[in-house]
Amino acid sequence: MEPLSRITSATVDVLDVLLAGQEPRWGLEIVKATGRASGTVYPILDRLERSGWVTSTWEADSERRGPRRRLYQITGEAAPAARRLLAARAEREAARARAGDPLPQPGT
């Protein structure tokens, strides 16, 4: 696993969704859960996968109608680092709230 060169709020949002469950998540599901545009989420997923933070596989469900979905899952090695990033964001948001600053909205 390589360190991430860029850690944006959108990256942390994607990591949050991936950490939220045990099952792999497909791209559009992550897009909807984060409220981010697909043009933001898919490049992040690609970057996370190239850095070894995420693995992906193609869905094997031949009974489901429609195109195959690509399923993404955070690696066991990356999960602790991702949790630290989420904790750091929570600390920053709490500090902003204490200072009376408005919290940033998704997409900003």
Q: Is the pLDDT of residue 35 over 70?
A: yes
Cα(84)–Cα(46) distance, integer angstroms = 21
| Token reading at 46 | 């690609």
Calculated CA dihedral for residues 68, 49, 22, 63, nearest 10 degrees: 10
Task: Please identify which residue in the block is written with the tokens 């996370």.
Answer: 48
Is residue 11 within 8 A of residue 44, CB to CB? The reply is: yes
Per-residue pLDDT of 39-73, as tens digits, reads 999 999 999 999 999 999 998 877 888 888 999 99
Task: Please give the model's pTM, rounded to 2 decimal places.
Answer: 0.84
CATH of 9-60+68-93, one of 3.90.1170.50, 1.20.210.10, 3.90.1150.10, 1.10.10.10: 1.10.10.10
pLDDT of residue 101: 66
Calculated CA dihedral for residues 43, 49, 52, 57, nearest 10 degrees: 170
Going by pLDDT thresholds of 50, 70 and 90, the confidence category of residue 74 is very high
Number of neighbouring beta carbons within 10 Å of residue 8: 11
